[in-house]
Amino acid sequence: MEKINELEIHTDCIHFRGDLPCKPHKKHGYHCKDCPAYQKIETRILIVKLGAIGDVIRTTPLLRRIRKEYPNAKITWVTHTPSILPADAVDEILKYDFKSILYIQQVQFDVFFNLDKDKDACALSLTINAKEKFGYTLYNGVPYPMNDLANHKYSTGLFDDISKSNTKSYVQEIFEMVGWQFNGEEYVFENHEQDGYTWNLDKSKKLVGLNTGCGDRWTTRLWADANWIQLIQLLQAKGYEPVLLGGEQEHQKNSELAKQTGALYLGHFSLPQFINLIYQMDIVVTQVTMAMHITVALQKKIVLMNNIFNPHEFELYGRGVIVEPTKVCDCYFDGTCIHGESCMKDISPEVILEEVSKQLD
């Protein structure tokens, strides 16, 4: 406890801000002295997971375990995409920039998790004051494990043969990196129902979301438009309602698919709105992309089409199935097909329909 002009100040309270009034004061008018909302910070935890949106989403199961192991912890998370993290589950969400780096370098943390192998994140780990550190650091100018717990995840990222033989999911691997066993902890995620989005959807039918894109990095994941058209027609014949999903990059594709098939396409939206649209679906068919991570985080059923990644990497929590080409893909983690034609063509619309029906029925 500190005193400022005879006022008692609890800078060690999880709600205390210093630069602004705390939430208990704004809501109830409390002062630090005798405040019933006072919660002493017993552990300060810093998570650095910058990465792509999908990687940030699938790291959130750690939050459930952290809250169990450290019930009175203050969790600070630094990332490129602060808006994707649930504000009610992370006490302090910081965008990765100079101001945030300057701040966290001056805080004494108890536990630090760096789960990124980006060189700047690894370099940052060397400057963080923490009693315990897990994940990656910088050694001889390259990313390197901080301790033996990170060895497995580190090695699967270095050598394709080791990666291909891996049988652990990403979530299991990151739990092991920090010394815990994964016990099926779910993602922590917001569905944005509270934001009041309204959708013109026929809820009398099973809504089958079709996420048609996959980004620019690994285009070998793409499924041909002709296959999407055939799948849409098969779904319609079955009495399902196909709903085309995607971002601005898929707008032209989805508009054309809708024009040719009559499938519902509502347009592309901001990320919170897109998340809420996926939340309306009964099941989602997708390639490995951000929408896949969102679908899993929302605890929706999923049919995942995969060719170039290790299928063990994906934790679907028993709510989905992974469909792969009939032959083993030769283009492991490769953005271009060495044969000139992606093996995704070997995944038939009939097989996808069958798996959708199994999941829904």
Query: How confident is the model at residue 331, as a pLDDT?
Result: 53
Query: How confident is the model at residue 138, as a pLDDT?
Result: 96
Q: Are residues 309 and 334 in the same domain?
A: yes
Residue 55 lies in a domain: yes
Tell me whether strands 142-145 and 129-139 are parallel, antiparallel or unpaired. Answer: antiparallel
Q: Are residues 157 and 247 in the same domain?
A: no
Query: How confident is the model at residue 224, as a pLDDT?
Result: 85
Residue with tokens 């780096």: 101
Nearest-Å Rg of the Cα atoms of the chain is 23
Q: Are residues 122 and 143 in the same domain?
A: yes
Q: Are residues 29 and 56 in the same domain?
A: no
Query: How confident is the model at residue 157, as a pLDDT?
Result: 87
Report the distance separating Cα 20 and Cα 36, nearest Å: 19
Q: Are residues 234 and 348 in the same domain?
A: yes
CATH number at residue 144: 3.40.50.2000
Q: Give me 129's structure tokens.
A: 């004051």
Q: Are residues 34 and 153 in the same domain?
A: no
Full residue range of the structural domain in which residue 285 is found:
203-360
- Show the CA angle centred on residue 150, arms to residues 220 and 70, nearest 5°: 110
Q: Are residues 119 and 237 in the same domain?
A: no
Residue 182 lies in a domain: no
Query: How confident is the model at residue 272, as a pLDDT?
Result: 95
Query: How confident is the model at residue 213, as a pLDDT?
Result: 81
Residue 198 lies in a domain: no
Q: Cβ atoms within 10 A of the Cβ of 99, count? A: 10
Query: How confident is the model at residue 329, as a pLDDT?
Result: 54
Residues of the chain with pLDDT under 70: 1, 5, 215-221, 327-343, 345
Q: Are residues 1 and 92 in the same domain?
A: no
Q: Are residues 212 and 89 in the same domain?
A: no
Report the distance separating Cα 202 and Cα 199, nearest Å: 9
Q: Are residues 150 and 267 in the same domain?
A: no
Cα distances (angstroms) measured from residue 245 to each of 158, 223, 301: 34, 14, 15
Q: Tens digits of per-residue pLDDT, 12-67? A: 999 999 899 999 999 999 999 889 999 999 999 999 999 889 999 999 999 999 99
Query: How confident is the model at residue 159, as a pLDDT?
Result: 84
Q: Are residues 229 and 284 in the same domain?
A: yes
- Show the CA angle centred on residue 14, arms to residues 4 and 28, nearest 5°: 75
Q: How many domains does the chain have?
A: 3
Query: How confident is the model at residue 126, as a pLDDT?
Result: 97
Q: Are residues 170 and 247 in the same domain?
A: no
What are the contacts of 234-239 at 24+ separation with CB within 8 A?
234/349, 234/350, 234/353, 235/208, 235/353, 235/356, 236/261, 236/262, 236/263, 238/353, 238/357, 239/205, 239/206
Residue 7 lies in a domain: yes
| Contact of 237 with 261, CB cutoff 8 Å | no
Q: Tens digits of per-residue pLDDT, 64-81? A: 999 999 999 999 999 999
